[in-house]
Amino acid sequence: MLEIAKNQAWTKLHRLFERVTDSLGKEIDPRIIQAVVGLNAVGIRTIASCEGHVGHGKPYPWIDVSYHHKDKLEQEICQCLERKQQDIRSFLRRRDHLIFEEEQKVAALLHAFYQAHPMAYDRHLITVHLVQGEFRLQPYGGEAQKYRSRSEQTEKLTEYQQEMQCFAEWLKVTCR
C-alpha cells in the first residue's frame, strides 16, 4: 500500500514538472526531467536544467540547484542595500549557509548512489559552484567536452545522459 502511494506521488510530481516551462516557453528536456523530478521529490530545489546538446549550449546534462526561500532572502538583501554594509554581509552569509546545506544534501545522495553504482570517473556527477550562490549538478568530464571532436562529444553526451538517468532511477527507487 505504501509503495502505491509513493508511485502516485512520483507520478503526480512528474506530471507537474511536465508542464513547467522556461522563460522561452520550452519544457524540461525529456532526458533530464526524471532527475529534476527526483531531486525535487527529496526536497532539493532545482531552478534550471538541460539534457545537453552537441552544437549549442552545453554538450552535457546539467541541473542548477538553489536553496528554499531564495526569493524571500534576496528581497531582504535588496531592502537592506541602503543600510549598513554589515547587514548585507549577514544576509550573504545566511545565503551561503543555505546553499551549503543544499549542496551537502546532494553530496550525500551522490555518495550513497556511488556506493553501489560503478562508473567511469569521467561520468561521475559532481557539484560546481555558480556565481550567484547556486550550484550545478553535472558530469565531471562535461567541461572537457570543448576539447573533443564532434563525434567524441556526441558519444560522451550519450554516456553523460545515461549517468544522469541512472541517478534519476536510483532516486526514484531509493528515495521515495
What is the structure's pLDDT at 1?
45
Q: What is the pLDDT of residues 137-171, one digit of tens each?
A: 999 999 999 999 999 999 999 999 999 999 999 99
Contact 88, 77 (CB under 8 A): yes
Please give the order of strands across the beta sheet that includes 62-66: 45-50, 62-66, 135-139, 125-129
Rg of the Cα atoms in the chain: 18
Q: What is the pLDDT of residues 107-138, one digit of tens each?
A: 999 999 999 898 889 999 999 998 777 899 99
Q: Is residue 72 part of a domain?
A: no
What is the structure's pLDDT at 86?
58
Q: Is residue 7 part of a domain?
A: yes
Q: pTM for this one?
A: 0.84
Q: Is residue 83 part of a domain?
A: no
**What is the average pLDDT score of the chain?**
86
Q: What is the pLDDT of residues 53-72, one digit of tens each?
A: 998 899 999 999 987 655 65
Q: Is residue 59 part of a domain?
A: yes
Q: What percent of the chain has pLDDT over 70?
A: 84
Packing angle, helices 33-41 and 150-174, rounded to 10: 30
Nine cell digits for residue 120: 567511469
Q: Is residue 161 part of a domain?
A: yes
What is the structure's pLDDT at 39?
93
Q: Which residues pair with 135 in a beta bridge?
A: 65, 129
Q: Is residue 38 part of a domain?
A: yes
**103-128: b (≥16 Cβ within 10 Å) or e:** beebeebbeebeeeeebeeebebebe
**Which CA distances in Å does 164 have to 33, 79, 84, 155, 171?**
10, 39, 44, 15, 10
What is the structure's pLDDT at 79?
60
**pLDDT tier at 96, thresholds 50, 70, 90:** confident
Q: Is residue 30 part of a domain?
A: yes
DSSP string computed for 77-120: HHHTTTS-HHHHHHHHHHHHHHHHHHHHHHHHHHHHHHHH----
What is the structure's pLDDT at 81?
57
Mean pLDDT of 8-34: 88
Nine cell digits for residue 79: 531592502
Q: Is residue 92 part of a domain?
A: no
Domain that holds residue 12: 2-65+97-174
Q: How many domains does the chain have?
A: 1
